[in-house]
Chain A
Amino acid sequence: MTENEMTSNDSTEPTPTTETAASSPDPSGDPLIEQSIDVEGTGDTAGETGEPVIESRDLNVFYGETQALQGIDLAIPEKQVTAMIGPSGCGKSTFLRCINRMNDLIDAARVEGDLYFEGKNVYDADVDPVALRRRIGMVFQHPNPFPKSIYDNVAYGLRIQDQTEDIDEKVETALKRAALWDEVKDQLDKSALDLSGGQQQRLCIARAIAVDPDVILMDEPASALDPIATSKIEDLIEELAEEFTVVIVTHNMQQAARISDKTAVFLTGGELVEFDDTDKIFENPESQRVEDYITGKFG
C-alpha cells in the first residue's frame, strides 16, 4: 500500500511497478476507495465532482523501447465528460486505450502501473479484458461500422453478449439516444456503409450504447467529420453524460472547452501536465506550459 502511494507521488520516475502490483494481493475494494479519497483531498481534483470511476496510479506504457506514457495519475469522475487534450503523439489516445485494455491487442505494448475501474485494478491477472470492454464502450476516430445492415450493427454487441431478448426494442432505443432513429428508421436493412460519415459515427455511438455500458471512451470522434456533423456529435455527447461517464480525446481545444466538465492536458513525451475543471484549465491554468499550449504558442 504505502509503496504504491510513494511511487504515485514521484511520478516522473518510471519504476517497474508491475511486479509488485501483480504479486502483492492488495488491490481489493475498500482500501482503494479510501486511498482515492486521499488523492482528492490533496487537491488533485476539484471537490464538487462525483466519485471517480476510473483512476490511474503511476501508469507507464511502453511501445517496445519507447515510453508513451509517464507515470500518469488521474481520477475520472462518474457521469461527466472528461476531455483529454494535447499535441499529437502525447499519449492521450494511449491512455484512453489503457482504460479498456485495447492496448493488449498491440503485441509491442507493455503497461506498468495500476488502473482502477470501479475499485478494481483492470490489469490484475483475474480481469478478463473482454468482460471489461463489455462495460466500457468505445467510439473510434474514423467511423467504423461493420459492413452489415444498420440493424445488425447496433445489434452486434447485444448478440455477442447473448442479450438476445428484445433486440428490436434495444436497437430502437439506442438509435433514438444516438439521435439517428428518425433518419434511419425506414431503412434499418440498408448497409451501414451507405450512410454519411456523420451518420456512421452516430451509428457507432448507438452501437456502443446499445449494450448499456458504464463508460464510453471516444477517441477523437469528430475529427473526421464536417462542422455540422461535429456539432451534432457534440450535442449528443453532452446528452450522453447524463447517463454515462464519457472520456473523450480531442485535438480540438474549443471542442474540449465546449463539452467537457474536466480536462486533462497531456504534453509531448507522455506526461500529464495538468488535470482540473475545464473552466480552470482554459481560464487560469497553473502550469505555464499548459497556458502556452492553450494559447497556441506551441503544439
Chain B
Amino acid sequence: MATREPETGWHGENSDVNHLRGRAFEATCLAATAFGLVSVMLLLLFVANDAFRPFSADAGWLATYAATVVVPLAALAVYYYRLDEPAGEVAYVTSGLPVVGLLLTGGFAVLFIELLSVLEWFALLISLVVAGGLIVAHGRLRPKAALERLGVVFLSPVITVFGLPPTRFNWFVTDAAAALGLDFGLYYRVISLREAIMLLPFVPTDWAMLLLTLVLPVAGAAGWFVKQRRESRRDGLAVVGMTTAVAVLGVVAGPLLGIGTDVWLLIVTFAVLPLGVYVEGVIRRGEGVCGLAFPVVAVLGVVVGGVVTGALGFAGPDPWLDWGFLTSATSRTAADAGIYPAMVGSVMMIIVIVLTTFPVGVGAAIYLEEYAPSQGLMGKFVTLIEINIGNLAGVPSVVYGLLGLALFIRVLQWPQGSIIVAGLAVGLLILPIVIISAQEAIRSVPDSFRQASYGMGATRWQTIRQVVLPEALPGILTGTILALGRAIGETAPLLMIGAAASVRLAPNSFFDVASMMPRQIFSWSSELDPSFRHGVLAAGVITLLAVLLVMNATAIVIRNRYQRTG
C-alpha cells in the first residue's frame, strides 16, 4: 500500500512547462471573435429596436405581454431543457411548422395574385402531368429504345406546354380544323394542351382546381408517407380523406369567417396538414406530448394579453415593421411606406435563379466530379477550370453586375432592370458557389458505393442517378440554399443592371422592371426624411434578415437530418 514518496515534489510543480504563449494566443482569438460577434449583435439590436420600437408602448403593455407570453414560454423552455428533451423538440417543431407553412402559404398566395391565375396554374400542371405520363408510358412500352426515349423526354413537355410553332403542316391542320368549324383562334400553329385547357368554355371553379392540383397531390404524398411509415393503408387513406374533408369544409365555411377559399386551401395544404400529421404522430407515440403545450401557451398568451391590454387601455407600440409595411408599396410618407413590391421582385428573382443556376451548377459539379478526366492534357485543363471556378467565387459582385449589363441588356437587348436580367446576373454570381458546394457534396459520397455500383455492371449514368445523387442531394440542397441566401441580399449587381429604385406596383411578369429588397433598402437610405433612414430602412433590413434566417434554418434542418441518417 505504501506509495512512493516523491523526492522533489510533484512533476511540474516548479512549472518548467511554459503555457504563456498558448494562453495568449487563445485569449487573442477569443477576443477577436467576440469583438466581431458582439459588434454585429449590437448593430442588429439597434436595427431591431428601430424597426419594432418596443419602447413606444406603454410600460403596462410591455408588462402584460411579458407576464402572459414571455414568462410562461421561458418557463416552459427551461422545463423542457432540464427535464423533458423530446418534448423540447416537439415544441420546437410544432412552433416552427406553422411558421414555415404560413410563409409557404404567403408565397403561393403572392404567386396566384401577381404571377398567374389559378386557371393558368391548373392548365400548366395538368399539361406537365400529361407530359410526365407520356414519358412513363413510353418507358413501360419500349424500355429499350434509349434514343427514342430522349426524344420523348424532351418533346412531350414542349408539346403539352408550348405547342408547335407554325409550319406548313400546321397550316394544313388548322385550316382543315377551321373548315370543320373547330376554330381555336390560334392559326397556323398546333396549340398545346395547356392552351387548349385555357380555351375550354367551361372551367371548374378556382377552388376545385386548387383542390385537384394542390391539396390532393400534397395530401396524397403525406398519405403515402404515413402509409410507408406505419405500414397501414388505412392510416394513409385517413390522412387524404381528412385533409380533403377539412379543405372542402373550409371552402363552404370560409366565406362566413372572412377567409378567402383559395387562401384557406393553401393554409390547409401547407400548415394544417403537416402540423396535423406531426401532432397525431406525437400523440400516438406518446413521447414528448408536453411539448404540444408550447404553441398552445403561446397562442393563449397572445389572446389573453390582447384582452387584458384592451380592457386596461394600454397602448401598444407603433412599429415600423407591421402588416401594412409588408403589404403595401413604398410611399412618399414614411408612415405609409412598405416593401411588398420589392419582396415580390426578390421572390421572382429567386425563382429565376433557382430555375437557371441550380441545374447548371449541379450539372457542372456532376461533370467535374464524375466525368471529367484527371490525367493528361484534358486533366490539366479540368484542373485549370476548377481553379478558376474557385477564383470566380471571389470576383466582386459589382463585376458580375457589369457582366449582366453587357451581356443581357446590351447584347441580348432585354429590358433594363427587369427581373430576368437581375436573376441571371445574380445567378451567375452564385454559380461558382453552387458548383463548389455541390462538388463537395458529391465528393463526400463514399467511393465504395460507386465501386459497388460499377462492379454490378451499372453504367456511369445509372451510378450517378441511383447511387451518387440520392446520397449527395441533401448536401447539394444545403449548399444551394445557403448560396440563395447570399443571392437574395446582393445589391451591387442590381444597381449595375439598373433595377428600379422603387416601384409602386408588384411585377407580374419576369420581363417587368422591378425593385428587389436590397435595392429598395438602399434607396431608402438616401431619403432626406430621417424617419425613412431610421425607421423604414430598419424595417426593411429586418424583413430581409428574417427571410435569410428562414432559408438558413431550412438548410440547417436538411443538413442535420442528413447527418442523422448518413
Contacts and interface: CB of A to CB of B under 8 A. Distances in A.
Contacts of A140: 448, 451-452, 455
B81 interface: no
B448 A142 contact: yes
Interface residues of A, number: 28
Given A130-B457, A131-B457, A140-B448, A156 B379 contact: no
A27 interface: no
A131 B143 CA distance: 17
A138 B566 CA distance: 24
A99 B373 CA distance: 23
Interface in A70-107: 100, 102, 105, 107
Nearest to B448: A144
Contacts of A180: none
Interface string B382-413: 00000000000000000000000000000000
A144 B452 contact: yes
Interface of B: 143-144, 373-375, 379, 446, 448-459, 462, 466-467, 471, 565-566
Interface stretch (A52-60, A204-212, A252-260, A275-283): A204-212
A160 interface: yes
Contact of A102 (B144, B451, B467, B566): B451
Given A140-B451, A162-B143, A156 B375 contact: no
Interface of A: 100, 102, 105, 107-108, 130-135, 137-138, 140, 142, 144-147, 156-157, 160-162, 204, 207-208, 211
Contact of B379 (A102, A107, A133): A107
A229 to B, nearest CB: 18
Q: Which 9 A-B pairs have the closest CB atoms?
A: A134-B457, A138-B455, A144-B448, A133-B457, A107-B375, A157-B456, A144-B452, A160-B458, A107-B374
Contacts of B471: 147
Contacts of A137: 455-456
Given A107-B373, A107-B374, A147-B566, A160 B456 contact: yes
A129 to B, nearest CB: 9
Given A102-B451, A162-B143, 14 more contacts: A102-B454, A107-B374, A107-B379, A131-B457, A133-B456, A134-B457, A138-B455, A138-B456, A147-B449, A156-B458, A160-B457, A161-B457, A162-B144, A211-B456
A3 B462 CA distance: 40
B462 A160 contact: yes
Given A140-B451, A147-B471, A207 B374 contact: no
B394 to A, nearest CB: 29
A137 B454 CA distance: 10
Contacts of B459: 130, 160
A207 B566 contact: no
A292 B262 CA distance: 84
Nearest to A130: B459
Contacts of B446: 144
B454 A133 contact: yes
A144 B449 contact: yes
Contacts of A142: 448
27 contacts: A100-B455, A102-B451, A105-B454, A107-B373, A107-B375, A107-B379, A108-B374, A130-B458, A130-B459, A133-B455, A138-B456, A140-B451, A144-B451, A146-B452, A146-B453, A146-B467, A147-B449, A156-B453, A156-B458, A157-B456, A160-B457, A160-B459, A160-B466, A161-B457, A162-B143, A207-B456, A208-B455
Contacts of B457: 130-135, 157, 160-161, 211
Nearest to B376: A107
A134 B459 CA distance: 10
A37 B456 CA distance: 31
A144 to B, nearest CB: 4
Contacts of B565: 147
Contacts of A107: 373-375, 379
Contacts of B373: 107
Nearest to B462: A160
Contacts of B456: 133-134, 137-138, 156-157, 160, 207-208, 211
A204 to B, nearest CB: 7
Contact of A156 (B143, B450, B451, B466): B466
A211 B455 CA distance: 12
A140 B452 CA distance: 8
